[in-house]
Amino acid sequence: MEDRAARLRSGLAAPVPPVGEDPRVRVDLAHLRGLEQQARRISFLPRQPSGSILNGRHASRLRGRGLNFEELRHYLPADDVRSIDWKVTARTGTPHVRVYTEERDRPTLIVVDQRMSMFFGSVLNMKSVTAAECAALAAFRIFAQGDRLGGVVFGDEALAEIRPARSRRALTGLLTAIAQANALLRADAPAAEPMPLNRVLASVSRIARRDHLVLVFSDFDAVDTTTERLVSGLARHNDVVLGLVSDPLAGNLPEGLRLVVSDGELQAEVNTADRATHRRLRDMAQGRLAAVLDWQRRFGVPVLPLSAGEDSVTQMRRLMGLAGRGR
């Protein structure tokens, strides 16, 4: 497995295409590529529609592209007087202006969780599929905006890093890594120790030191105080958006339900007719969601609440304030 992890990290692992798989359970590269046209109207630029979750008091605005100083030159009649550099003008005795150019791109990292905790769905999609589709939609839109694109894709045993680049090759590399990681998820997979989210966020912090856009699509399983520290640290120097992927069952766990859960080797039956069991499961699921949603208030990090029970394109458009608009 270490050899496969190393090959995944370097992008050398061969794709494992599923045959005849339900796209609600598993995605492949062709499926992810097919989302490109539907990503056109999704935007992560600072100016957001009024209905966007990235606009307004519940979420901080994303930083805009900055301005790079290009040159000093003599003032011309058509120049804006506000661009005059008064210190240089006083020193030279002739009016000079400072010329800036807008930064042409901003590096973006898309972080995609494909651990076994994501291989669950009760209504429409597996959480892993929703995360993969939403990440692909974001990747296509970021690429179309001309920004450098990269990502970190991780499962329980493998982590792939794609360094930000302004190229179709980087986009394809990210989508391929997502499809490969998704293909490893299966009900009979051997039990493995889940990769800590903190390890992944530490890798992201190493790459995105400042002025990156970081999009994380995950169910945020097993978060703790270290996770909070890593997220707040990233948010201090970067724009961070958290795509919190959950299943409808987490928010509304019915009583009297018998579930059989398995780690690939052992299985157990969970009976929610037992009130104590039902309460513990409900509190565990809702507590995780509440903790991540609270980061929005504490750290100013926008949270996109994504449901595996809803079509990915529909909810991404709604969260960006684009529901009901023409394509």
Q: Note whether 161 and 152 are within 8 A (CB).
A: yes
Q: Are 22 and 166 contained in the same domain?
A: yes
Sign of CA dihedral 311, 108, 178, 117: negative
Report the pLDDT value the prediction gives residue 253, as an integer from 0 to 100: 57
Taking only the tens of pLDDT, the chain with its 327 residues reads: 444 444 444 344 444 444 457 899 999 999 999 999 998 877 766 555 545 556 543 444 456 555 556 678 888 877 788 889 999 999 999 999 887 655 556 799 999 999 999 998 888 999 999 999 999 999 999 999 888 999 999 999 999 999 999 999 999 999 999 999 999 998 877 778 889 999 999 999 999 998 899 999 999 988 999 999 999 999 999 999 999 999 988 766 555 556 555 555 555 555 555 566 446 555 556 667 788 888 988 998 999 999 999 999 999 988 876 555 554
Cα gap 147→198, rounded to integer Å:
26
Please check whether residue 11 lies inside any domain of the structure.
yes
- Counted residue by residue, the chain has a size of 327
Place of tokens 């597996």: 126
Please check whether residue 325 lies inside any domain of the structure.
no
- HSE at residue 245, side-chain half, CA atoms within 13 A, is 31
Sign of CA dihedral 21, 22, 28, 34: positive
Please check whether residue 77 lies inside any domain of the structure.
yes
Domain that holds residue 27: 2-59+105-319
Report the pLDDT value the prediction gives residue 190, as an integer from 0 to 100: 78
**What's the predicted TM-score (pTM) here?**
0.74
Q: Are 247 and 98 contained in the same domain?
A: no
As a dihedral over the C-alpha atoms of residue 120, residue 124, residue 128, residue 134, rounded to 10 degrees, the angle is -160
The domain that contains 158 carries what CATH number?
3.40.50
Q: Note whether 147 and 106 are within 8 A (CB).
A: yes
HEC profile of 277-314? HHHHHHHHHHHHHHHHHHHHHHHCCCEEEEECCCCHHH
Q: Are 97 and 111 contained in the same domain?
A: no
In sequence order, the β-bridge partners of residue 309 are none
Please check whether residue 182 lies inside any domain of the structure.
yes
Cα gap 175→3, rounded to integer Å:
21
Q: Are 202 and 297 contained in the same domain?
A: yes
Q: Are 81 and 195 contained in the same domain?
A: no
Phi, psi for residue 74 in degrees, rounded to 5: -65, 145
Please check whether residue 276 lies inside any domain of the structure.
yes
- Provide the domain count of the chain: 2
Closest by Cα among 55, 49, 155, 131 to 306:
131
Please check whether residue 292 lies inside any domain of the structure.
yes
Distances (CA, A) of 194 to 32, 113, 118, 250: 25, 11, 11, 20
Q: Are 192 and 80 contained in the same domain?
A: no
Q: Are 118 and 138 contained in the same domain?
A: yes
Please check whether residue 326 lies inside any domain of the structure.
no
Strands 303-307 and 267-271: unpaired
CB atoms < 10 A from the CB of 30, how many?
11
- Out of 76, 102, 128, a domain closes at 102
Q: Are 279 and 306 contained in the same domain?
A: yes
Greatest alpha-carbon pair distance for the chain in Å reads 85
Closest by Cα among 43, 15, 45, 40 to 27:
15
Q: Are 48 and 97 contained in the same domain?
A: no
Report the pLDDT value the prediction gives residue 140, as an integer from 0 to 100: 95
Please check whether residue 327 lies inside any domain of the structure.
no
Q: Are 239 and 129 contained in the same domain?
A: yes
Q: Are 7 and 146 contained in the same domain?
A: yes
Report the pLDDT value the prediction gives residue 16, as an integer from 0 to 100: 44
Closest by Cα among 114, 263, 115, 267 to 190:
263
Q: Are 135 and 194 contained in the same domain?
A: yes
Report the pLDDT value the prediction gives residue 8, as an integer from 0 to 100: 42
Extract the runs of DSSP E, i.e. beta strands, from the chain: 67-74, 96-102, 108-113, 149-154, 159-165, 213-218, 239-246, 258-262, 267-271, 303-307
